Structure 1
């Protein structure tokens, strides 16, 4: 995905599945999807692929090692940076020779053709592949326009060089801001064949770096929300303990809802009361007011914590 139109297209494609609601975040490149049980993850991935994009399930979080944050290994932009660098090295001579007539030497156009060929094919391959993928699903994107522009300018230049007289050794091509008709020699447009992918790749590389920085900042903020979870309570004085949470219906009726875990914010505290998070337990022996009961709190990531509760009379 490269723009808001891509986000909108993916969300609409997912929304076509009955009962599915999706929100796509362009900065992180992820989608949050709410779907009924009968809709599988494979169905959702297939829907995204039908829109002309690729998708995969998020990898499970791995523990932090050697101070490296999750997802921090490797360089996600290495391939695109190498492609941009090689494209720039091949394109700059073509742009200079095509736009500065004083530098055009004998057979300069053939040198430009040799330099432009890998750019038009390999350098712009990401645009060609995404354009073809979109056409298979009857979708046209910015990649389609870039691919068409590169193919048209390079194909016409090849025709002009081999059949249109532009391949003559002494050919010179003047620089002009406005198109001109006529002439015995067909013009070549190799500067367009290399300039379009070069500038678009540069823009997307800078955009990708900005998005990765934004995504890392968002993930860092999300990581501050909840650092651990209370998953269970045990005690030698009770047979079984269940975590529960107080719920208010808003119509004068309250309920106790069983919960498997309770989130605890970083640096926060956990308060237990009948009107918030509490423990429902079956006792082994009778308790009297003032008795002290030991409990062990078990957490998902932290070590168990031993606490003591004091028995009080109802309403006391």
Structure 2
């Protein structure tokens, strides 16, 4: 008899993280059968092949993250500790193959495709997405940012009708300029539902100054995305070139994991800004005196 419902210590550790860090916002259900997420009848009526249907009726999802109020599924999470794989846009990526489970990749792809067919966001992650980031002062990991993004997208979807009405009213009132303003307002409203972006805003509003600048590096040979996030202050033109004072800098690198194709870029931006804010809090705090001293000591660098 198995002593644990989890397949590995890594999976068990992830569950504890989800239950503690996200308990205020979400319910997390481990080892949940797809029929509980999609519905048995819906699976049987789908256009999937018989083999895929049978697999979905006998397997389970590692974790299903649900709205804490109505238990609507927000995100399906598969932890791939064995193969170290990840997913993006319903496609599974791994460089490992295992003789004991030659159909592992097909199983992952079937789960991801089923989630896409039933409009349930899903992602495959491994240790790289679940280990706490040193740059964040050990506060968040990449999966946390993926979950926060899922909450934000769900909030936007739930209020889609309301936002559509806002845009229509804005256009009738002032044309395209008013629509542009309304779109910014809608974006801000949606981001307020994102706990990590909300934390960034809470921190940066307390700082005497906040201005970030980042540069995307080309993906490396493994497809990882990297960027340098810099806290700059002051801008001057010296001999025809623009210079700035750089108070702090943090480098972030992530695999291109996410629910959709564009997710990694947005996730990287959120992670970088969070890490930079945490570094500023630790190094400078909220006292204007500390920031002024750092400003005086900082050297001019090309903008």
TM-score by length of 2: 0.22
Higher strand residue share: 2
Higher helix share: 2
TM-score scaled by length of structure 1: 0.21
Structure with bigger gyration radius: 1
